[in-house]
Structure 1
């Protein structure tokens, strides 16, 4: 199993004829993702990589059949209208790749998604990847590298940094530890599926035995994960690393959502809160594989491929 993407999901690409849309469609299709249609207004009737292109999401649904997921490669000012179009058509998961989406647009998308029972990842996300099953967005860069770097296993990965999402999965794989799903939640202050929501999905996934999380200063996502652990809503072990230890108040750390204001969202506070709740928090990024191996061994989930030779 996996969360969000697997081989059965039917995927639409909005903005498929653009440079990014075309390049990432090649990645997704080559990796095995079931990309069934693309949409670019005014470009309907074309075929991209063997995938039919339509003018509207409604037309794509009517001609290609029901669609589970839409991946958006749309200029930021147009993201809201494209997202609302997909939600109105009945698509239940959106992956919003672009950054610089206006925050009020994100709030409107979130409201529409909630009313429709839909979910969205991002904005400002590399996407989602389930090793051996499918990729949404641009995780892994190329299909060949994604196949080489990642393999299936018992660890779910949730991260606020795109580069660190792939880095964690890569170094875990080098240590013989595979992943169930990689999720880059997005680097903006407001995202559709923040860490706590991703944790709830991993909690329900039988293939995920432990969760590795990269957190940052700013927002309360990591503290909310601690709340879930304490409430018993998250029972699977969490291994966490929190970036931004040296950041000062008012200074943005890497991403738009990674900023300390008035003493809130600090590195120290997040580390203490997670440790108090029972999570394993490492002090250095390169300690993640060893800590994860120890946790998997403790719960009897260290698979043969990850066994110490």
Structure 2
């Protein structure tokens, strides 16, 4: 059973008529994702990529039966797009937009409380279920169906790890990019929980980085749960200078908090295997599965 995305997922794209939406939605459709329409205010009634365009998310959902949305809206208006999807009770929203203003995301996080929506992102590369569909901007070609779930804060490293896992003969069940901005929707802990409960996931890879406390929260969860499925983690940014943003807006250590060493220490104490290098993640999870067997 895939996590988040399956053959019954019906997707609308908010901002589909822009360049990014047009390009990536076309790639999603080529991969097999069931895209059923787009939302661009003021362009309702038109057609784009041979799909109907609606003015509002609620209207698109009512007309198409969509149960997921992907957001390709520029940062200044991205939060408004997410809020509209939450108000329309869209079950799943993936926000690709990077560097949405922090105060805007605070309002989005508040709106998510008690809602029926699961938000992935912002600044997410999306969700990929090999052979089923993709809801995002990740590269494809090296992925294969298999038993390893991936939860990541890094888009480029996710592609590298997917290729490694395929190369060692394991393949992936579901890959989720939680997003690299400091405030986002679903976090690493809740994604891990879903993958550990997934019957088709045999092991999990976590890709973390400096900044924030998500990896420490995951470590606390694992320490309390003591899961039987092997978990491997890669934490990047070990040589990053303090108090300097490294790529993602959330990849920033402040006051000695959020550094790579602390995250590695917490995860190791919880029983997580730490990949010694980025190029050894696939081999580490292969060995972990072989050792369990």
Which of the five TM-score ranges fits, normalised by the shorter chain? over 0.9
Pair 117,60 (structure 1): closer, same or farther in 2 beyond 3 Å: closer
Structure 2: distance between partners of 1:95 and 1:6: 15
Structure 1: distance between partners of 2:146 and 2:201: 8
Contact kept in structure 2, 1:252 and 1:259, CA below 8 Å: yes
Q: Which residue of 2 aligns with 1:245?
A: 238
Structure 1: distance between partners of 2:26 and 2:117: 26
Runs of at least 4 residues of structure 1 off by over 4 A? Answer: none
Contact kept in structure 1, 2:28 and 2:136, CA below 8 Å: yes
Residues 1:160 and 2:153 aligned together:
yes
Structure 2: distance between partners of 1:61 and 1:118: 13
Residues 1:218 and 2:211 aligned together:
yes
Q: CA deviation at 1:236?
A: 2.5
Q: Normalising by structure 2, what TM-score?
A: 0.96
1:16-45 deviation digits (Å, cap 9, x = unpaired) = 110001111101111111111111111112
Q: Which residue of 2 aligns with 1:121?
A: 120
Residues 1:133 and 2:132 aligned together:
yes
Paired residues in the alignment total 293
Contact kept in structure 2, 1:165 and 1:183, CA below 8 Å: no
Map 1:162-177; keep pairs closer than 5 Å: 162-177=155-170
Structure 2: distance between partners of 1:105 and 1:201: 27
Contact kept in structure 2, 1:200 and 1:233, CA below 8 Å: no
Q: Which residue of 1 aligns with 2:91?
A: 92
Q: Which residue of 2 aligns with 1:12?
A: 12
Q: Structure 1 unaligned segments of length 5 or more: list them.
A: 141-145, 301-309
Contact kept in structure 1, 2:242 and 2:254, CA below 8 Å: yes
Structure 1: distance between partners of 2:155 and 2:128: 12
Structure 2: distance between partners of 1:202 and 1:277: 18
Pair 234,120 (structure 1): closer, same or farther in 2 beyond 3 Å: farther
Q: Kindly report the root-mean-square deviation, in angstroms, between the aligned alpha carbons of the 2 structures.
A: 1.3
Q: Normalising by structure 1, what TM-score?
A: 0.92
Contact kept in structure 1, 2:7 and 2:132, CA below 8 Å: yes
Q: Which residue of 2 aligns with 1:194?
A: 187
Q: Structure 2 unaligned segments of length 5 or more: list them.
A: none
Pair 248,192 (structure 1): closer, same or farther in 2 beyond 3 Å: same
Q: Which residue of 1 aligns with 2:27?
A: 27
Structure 1: distance between partners of 2:289 and 2:184: 30
Contact kept in structure 2, 1:214 and 1:240, CA below 8 Å: yes
Greater shift in the superposed pair: 255-264 or 232-241: 232-241
Map 1:95-106; keep pairs closer than 5 Å: 95-106=94-105
Q: CA deviation at 1:205?
A: 1.0
